[in-house]
Structure 1
Amino acid sequence: MIELLHASLNWPTLPATVLVAICVLYWLSVIVGVLDFDLLDFDLDFDISADGPSILDFGFIGLRFLNLGEVPIMVWLSIFSLSMWLLSINFDSKAEIQSFMDYLPLFLRNLGISLVVTKLVTQPFKGYFQFTPPNQIETLLGKSCRVTSSTVNEKFGQAELETEGAPLKLHIRSEDETIQKGDLVRLADYNQETQAFYVVKINQES
């Protein structure tokens, strides 16, 4: 045990040990409720630009191939760091490191193997972590809500949409002057500039 601890806290295993320690601290914080699971999870948008691929786009394709963006970043990083640590502790603990150039070949070897291992381990989890955040424009369109303002016109209108928690208050607009307070309407479209939904009175639809 002492030998393992000594090897972990010395080169060339020390960088991998630090990375593993960061991941362990993160998961412990999640377990005890100090941090949220998705606190360090980033929205990695790897879609190729409509103007045509660029050098940066090809780099994104490489990251997507490794399943970055397909699984939560901390899940990916935890598997990667553990792989780096296991490789270093098993194969490099006896290595003599006198300079950075002595460490570089070992790092590159472990990096390449760890990327392959992380890719294989995370491959079965692709798609399991994909979700649409609640109350996004795309998820609200088509839903019904109740008018709370006295009337609804092209310039003013408010409604409430029932959710699992508190009702969601929305700005709405309509060309139908007959919509009044208490009417049930459907969210038909959204105007990004005014940040308001265009609605249609449900009992008038065919």
Structure 2
Amino acid sequence: MELFFAIFFSFPVIIFSTLLTLCVLYWLVAAIGILHIDCLDVDFDGIDASPSTGLGGLLLKWGFNEVPMTLIITLISLFGWIFSYLCLRYILIHFITISWLYYLAGIIIFTISFIIATYLTAKVIKPIRPFFNKMGSLNSHKTLLGQVVVIRSSVVNEQKGEAFYEDGGAGLILQVRADSRYLFQRGDKAVLLSYDSVSNSYEIINESDFMENIK
């Protein structure tokens, strides 16, 4: 057991150990409902999400765009931890004793572990992607129109913006757009008015204007 913990807290295993520990805590906290499922999400407004380049192209290539990012991070952390642990346990600590050479080998092992973990994660999620697609279809675009969402991005305009929809489960993060006359801030509530399939986004208005329109 002492050897296990020694390796657990050694470089490069400690990187995956930290990620995996955070993932386990995240799932435990999310399971008991203390935090929303999106509490660890990052605002990706400025990241290239086109289907052929940037982050969007990478996600599409590996099929990660169809599966919750939290699951992907958890699997990569798990596979990376297993591979790096085995390398450290049976190779690194037995054959490399020079300090600088140890850390150089550790960097190489970490890189290889990450690549292998990403590849294995892509293979594991491939057969379960249809399940998440089916879950997504339950929240069709038409059923969401008229629903109240909470703004989660710092800016919402005609080009970018994000909002969170509480569906009673994990919740949904939606791309939203607003007319220039509206000045939404993070935490404000808005109503989904229409859906644009081209940009995969919803037009939103504030609640008061929506109530006036339906009168």
Q: Quick one: distance in 2 between partners of 1:123 and 1:11?
A: 31
Q: CA deviation at 1:41?
A: 5.0
Q: Which residue of 2 aligns with 1:110?
A: 113
Q: Does 1:74 align with 2:78?
A: no
Q: Which has the larger radius of gyration?
A: 1
Q: Does 1:98 align with 2:118?
A: no
Q: TM-score, normalised by structure 2?
A: 0.54
Q: Which residue of 2 aligns with 1:61?
A: 57
Query: Cα deviation per residue 1:20-60 (whole Å; 9 max; x = unaligned)?
Result: 11101101111222122343357978444xxxx6xxx1553
Q: CA deviation at 1:5?
A: 1.2
Q: Which residue of 2 aligns with 1:32?
A: 32
Q: CA deviation at 1:189?
A: 9.8
Q: Does 1:139 align with 2:143?
A: yes
Q: Which residue of 2 aligns with 1:83?
A: 79
Q: Quick one: distance in 1 between partners of 2:39 and 2:29?
A: 11
Preserved contact between residue 13 and residue 89 of structure 1 (Cα < 8 Å): yes
**May I ask how many residue pairs the two structures share in their alignment?**
149
Q: Percent identity over the alignment?
A: 24
Q: Which runs of 5+ in 2 are unaligned?
A: 147-166, 169-192, 197-202
Q: Which residue of 2 aligns with 1:127?
A: 130
SS in 1 for 2:57: helix
Query: Cα deviation per residue 1:44-78 (whole Å; 9 max; x = unaligned)?
Result: 78444xxxx6xxx1553222222322111111111
Q: Quick one: distance in 2 between partners of 1:189 and 1:63?
A: 24
SS in 2 for 1:39: coil
Q: Quick one: distance in 1 between partners of 2:50 and 2:41?
A: 18
Preserved contact between residue 194 and residue 204 of structure 2 (Cα < 8 Å): no
Q: Quick one: distance in 1 between partners of 2:195 and 2:15?
A: 52
Preserved contact between residue 46 and residue 60 of structure 1 (Cα < 8 Å): yes
Q: Quick one: distance in 1 between partners of 2:195 and 2:79?
A: 48
Structure with higher helix content: 2
Q: Which runs of 5+ in 1 are unaligned?
A: 144-163, 166-186, 200-206
Q: Quick one: distance in 2 between partners of 1:11 and 1:188?
A: 51
Q: 1:40 to 1:59 in 2, by over 3 A?
A: closer
Q: Which runs of 4+ in 1 moved over 4 A?
A: 41-45, 132-136, 187-190, 192-197
Q: CA deviation at 1:135?
A: 9.2
Q: 1:128 to 1:42 in 2, by over 3 A?
A: farther
